[in-house]
Amino acid sequence: MNISKLSKHVVLKGGTIIDPAAGTEKKGDILIENGKIKFVGKVEAPKSAQVVDCKGLVVTHGFCDLHVHFREPGREDKETLESGSMAALAGGFTRVCVMPNTDPPLDSPESIRYTVDRSEECLVHIHPIGAITKGQNGEELTEMGAMLSEGAVAFSDDGLPVTDSGMMRNALEYATMFDIPVINHAEDLCLKKNGVMHEGKISTHLGLSASPDITESNMVHRDLELTELTGARLHVPHVSSAKSVDHIRKMKKTSNRVTAEVTPHHLFFTDEDLVSFDTNLKVAPPIRTKADQKALIKAVKDGTFDCIATDHAPHTIEEKEGTFDLAPFGMIGLESCFGAVNQVMVKENKMDRVKLIQMLTVKPRRIMGFDHDLFSKGAEAELTILNPEESWIFRKSHIQSRSSNSPYVAHSLTGKIKYTIIKGHITALS
């Protein structure tokens, strides 16, 4: 991966421009001047311009991920805002929202300010999500108003659910004043117990303690009903089961207050992959069955899901090298994201590629209220250039994260990021 400053003039020459905001796909060039979009169409390159040959490549908006864990402060051995930014660039992401389950958690205006300040020197845009409750204890609301003024964009206790239904109601009600999304990690811990994988035929054969799909869908259903009651905005993260999809789809028919995301790994893997006891596949919520995977794919196609989010969750090799019961939940996912979802959705399930790219760009930006008309004149150049057809093997060498807990290693993926342009820099990927 090679990062360099953009020249005064840069021409992205001869690519296929997918404008996810307009839903269009056409051949053309883009002229960038001083890091800003100058012109989209047929460009005669100025003499001194840096020309990027985009023949055979797709030029589109930079990807936006609403769900990453960058571990700073507290676990900088796993990831920092800076190293996470490198992983984002490698995956074509120019903008990410970091979850607040750091140590200490992002549960105060001061910690939000710290993250915003630290992010300024990073090469992607980083937006903190604030904790719903102080210390993520599920007991006391955080100062949401002040945190929003410091730069928080949403609230979540991610990693942990808000178990107490009364507290969840309060959080949603309180958030209605600000019209921002509340994101609840939906797992009923009483049902989950010590479950480390999805409860099904495979867990029975493996003897691993497991939790059933309703561990998630019960709480998703509760949250949807609370949203209806309070009129708040709910964003459902990392949906993993067919039952949760059903609840969300039904609620979306009558409510525009609900949005939902799906991860690449829940689309790519099934519980059958766990027969290897690969601790990198230990995630929360767990990888579920083929039938769930099918339902998730359908929900991507029919728009039940608004966006793809990686839930990039770095853990040290020492932690993941241990036994299955002791390994922490989570996998990294930024670097492998596009190759995985493009393979599953476009190559294998014939989804329109413009629609998939919308789920990585304009749709997540809309949820958070970020600018999403990125090809308009004067907009900051925030672009991703990719080869949608390229088939490649994901290797450890593709990982830019400080951690390497990826189950994609040695898997074949389709679609590869070639350049990421953001904050006046261009990152070239090999």
- List active site positions: 311
Per DSSP, the residues of 57-80 read -EEEEPEEEEEE---TTT-TTT--
| 170 vs 203, beta carbon nearer other proteins | 203
The nearest distance, CB 259 to other proteins, in angstroms, is 32
Least Å from the CB of residue 326 to other proteins: 7
Contact 278, 270 (CB under 8 A): no
User: How many CA atoms does the CB half-sphere of 111 hold within 13 Å?
Assistant: 24
Structure tokens at 406: 């990826």
Position 4, amino acid: S
Gap between the Cα atoms of 157 and 161, Å rounded:
6
What residue spans of 165-258 are helical by DSSP H? 165-175, 189-192, 201-206, 214-230, 242-254
Nearer Cβ to other proteins, position 201 or 250? Answer: 201
Identify which of residues 163 and 387 has a Cβ nearer to other proteins in the complex: 163
Q: How far is the CB of 222 from other proteins (least distance, A)?
A: 22
Query: Least distance in Å: CB of 216 to other proteins?
Result: 16
Q: How far is the CB of 113 from other proteins (least distance, A)?
A: 37
In the complex with other proteins, which residue's Cβ is closer, 213 or 306? 213
The residues of the shown chain that bind other proteins, judged by CB under 8 A, are 199-201, 203-210, 212, 276-277, 318, 321-326
Of residues 191 and 379, the one with the C-beta less far from other proteins: 191
| CB of 105 or CB of 195, closer to other proteins | 195
Q: CB 195 → other proteins: shortest distance, Å?
A: 11
Smallest gap from residue 417 Cβ to other proteins (A)? 31
Contact at 8 Å (CB) between 305 and 261?
yes
- Give the pair of three-digit tokens for residue 131: 């904790």
Cis, peptide link before residue 109, omega less than 30° from 0: no
Task: Single out the residue of 184, 304, 177, 155 nearest to residue 231, CA to CA.
Answer: 177
Q: What residue has token string 């210390």?
A: 135
Helix pair angle (81-90, 109-120), 10° resolution? 60
**Token pair recorded at residue 374:** 């990125």
Q: Which residues of 280-318 are buried (b: 16+ CB within 10 A; e: fewer)?
A: bbbbbbbbbbeebbebbbebbbeebbbbbbbbbbbbbee
Cβ closer to other proteins: 34 or 204? Answer: 204
Cα–Cα distance, 417 to 429 (Å, whole number): 7
Q: Is the Cβ–Cβ distance between 398 and 90 less than 8 Å? A: yes
> What is the number of residues in the chain?
430
d(CA 161, CA 177) in angstroms, rounded, equals 22
Nearest distance in Å: CB 188, other proteins: 15
Burial of 14 (0-12, 13-18, 19+ CB in 10 A): middle
| Residue 361, both tokens | 């760009």
Cα distances (Å, whole numbers) of residue 405 to 86, 90, 231, 401, 402: 16, 16, 39, 9, 10
Nearer to other proteins, 121 or 325 (CB): 325
